[in-house]
Structure 1
Amino acid sequence: MTDDFAVRCKGCGFTWNTPAMADGLRILGACPKCRGDLEFGTRGAIAPAPVAPDVAAAAPHLVLGLPRI
């Protein structure tokens, strides 16, 4: 088997290849097909959390959007 996967099920052998699927399966905690254990590969590494913008320092139109007329 190849090591180029995000998540692989140890039970049925099904693989997922995207980091987004890895995040969702990490929340589920088990294979949605057979309820088997999951193995996370190199593509399924946890990505750093995005930095939240400083909302208090931003102008209101940047936070709320354009006003309606």
Structure 2
Amino acid sequence: MKIELDQVKQQLMFTDQERKLMEATTEFHKNTNSVISEISNKIDTEIASLKTLMESNKLDTIRYLAGM
């Protein structure tokens, strides 16, 4: 009887540890996805800014060449 009780206790401890691990993993993935989204948004903003700058430089070059 005592052996069975010890086995049940061990199973419960293992289940609790599994639950805690799953919670930690879920939290880690949530934080990771948040960071990835933030970085992706920064990259998109930077790309849009560079495209605008390139277009502006292109127009300035055309104006310069047309003025020659």
Q: Shorter-chain TM-score category?
A: under 0.3
> Which one has more relative contact order, counting CA pairs under 8 Å at least 6 apart?
1
Structure with greater proportional helix content: 2
**Highest Rg: 1 or 2?**
2
TM-score, with length taken from structure 2:
0.25
TM-score, with length taken from structure 1:
0.24
Structure with greater proportional strand content: 1
